């Protein structure tokens, strides 16, 4: 019989899919690493598994313990999945810009969710970083994975995402493009690809306009899960060869195109990374380029945001015509 013993055994080994239309005939191959194929629906399943197992080995997380983490949703889902399998409790702390859909997903997995304001600096007592620190002190048996400082975050990518890409492309990958949140994905995957290719693979970060990685000061932007207003320990500044800055407008336009033209329903950070990858393909103008772009999560958590015309127009982004018609419109 062909079955997995546990959902956790299905983390990683996600497919690579060629982008055919959104590249607008740019020469070369642009391949998407589609991370919503992970069982929890995002790239973060990879780090959740690795961080929890390392904490158990180090004796930091004991049976019946509670996992407390500031997370924009995806890391929470990954952690909640691992927690269920192993019998831990979860408390997640989210900034209020995270969609309600995403928060409800965490609750559905049995986690507790605490919501904090987005528009305060990280050192503010109400920030989601500060609140999670306080909860760790107050809850007995609490352990904070701290994805922003945990070396097992980039390590998970060094051990899985990097080798997968090298094998899937038979060593022909020329560029790796990824958004940067904690920096775990780009640092771990990028370092592996650098080492295995002797520095031949170019590592390219995609970053929202306003974030520190592309020289901003942390000015607010709407795309979720990427960009920062501080420099996390998990981001290795040596790895990326360059950073491409992408506006919210371009990120959201590409997110919509991926759904309509490639049938890939993905989140805004995936649209941002894909926009950077397509821009790079045009710039390189090289038929031998093999650009791999990582798409971190699926789009179902964003139906009331990037996929909602009213939401898009409220923020001044042009929306394509609606795909839904009412009977009255047809009469």
| Residues lying near ligand PMP in the complex (CB under 6 A) | 72, 74, 179-185, 224-226, 267, 269, 296-297
Q: Are 121 and 115 in contact (CB under 8 A)?
A: no
Task: Pick the closer one to ligand PMP by CB: 156 or 291.
Answer: 156
At closest approach, how far in Å is the CB of 159 from ligand PMP? Answer: 14
Q: How many CB atoms lie within 10 A of CB 142?
A: 17
Compare residues 185 and 255 and give the one whose CB is closer to ligand PMP: 185
65 or 154: whose CB is closer to ligand PMP? 154
- 65 vs 183 by CB, closer to ligand PMP: 183
d(CA 111, CA 214): 34
Cβ 38 to ligand PMP, closest distance in Å?
12
The nearest distance, CB 328 to ligand PMP, in angstroms, is: 37
Q: Annotated catalytic sites, by residue? A: 44
User: Minimum distance between the CB of residue 27 and ligand PMP, rounded to whole angstroms?
Assistant: 27
Minimum CB distance to ligand PMP, residue 157 (Å):
7
Residue (28 or 155) nearer to ligand PMP, CB: 155
Q: Tell me which residue has its CB nearest to ligand PMP.
A: 225
């Amino acid at each position: 019989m062909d079955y997995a013993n546990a959902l956790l055994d299905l983390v990683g080994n996600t497919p690579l899919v060629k982008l055919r239309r959104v590249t607008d005939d740019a020469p070369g191959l642009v391949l998407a690493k589609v991370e919503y194929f992970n069982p929890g629906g995002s790239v973060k399943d990879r780090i959740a598994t690795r961080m929890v197992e390392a904490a158990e080995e180090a004796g930091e997380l004991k049976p019946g313990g509670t996992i407390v983490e500031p997370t924009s949703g995806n890391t929470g889902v990954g952690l909640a999945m691992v927690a269920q399998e192993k019998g831990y409790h979860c408390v997640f702390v989210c900034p209020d810009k995270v969609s309600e859909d995403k928060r409800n997903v965490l609750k559905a997995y049995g986690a507790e969710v605490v919501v904090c304001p987005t528009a305060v600096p990280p050192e503010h007592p109400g920030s989601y970083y500060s609140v999670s620190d306080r909860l760790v002190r107050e809850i007995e048996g609490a352990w904070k994975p701290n994805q922003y400082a945990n070396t097992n975050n980039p390590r998970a990518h060094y051990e899985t995402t990097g080798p997968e890409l090298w094998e899937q492309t038979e060593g022909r990958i020329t560029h790796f493009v990824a958004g940067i949140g904690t920096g775990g994905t780009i640092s771990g995957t990028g370092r592996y690809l650098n080492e295995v290719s002797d520095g031949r693979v170019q590592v390219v970060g995609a970053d929202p306009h306003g974030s520190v990685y592309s020289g901003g000061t942390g000015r607010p932007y709407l795309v979720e899960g990427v960009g920062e207003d501080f420099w996390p320990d998990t981001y290795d500044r040596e790895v990326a060869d360059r950073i491409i800055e992408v506006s919210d407008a371009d990120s959201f336009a590409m997110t919509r195109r991926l759904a309509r033209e490639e049938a890939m329903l993905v989140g805004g950070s995936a649209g941002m990374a894909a926009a950077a990858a397509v821009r790079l393909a045009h710039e390189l103008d090289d038929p031998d380029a093999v650009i791999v772009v990582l798409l971190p999560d699926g789009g179902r958590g964003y139906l009331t945001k990037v996929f909602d015309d009213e939401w898009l127009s409220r923020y001044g982004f042009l929306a394509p015509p609606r795909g839904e018609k009412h009977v009255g419109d047809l009469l």
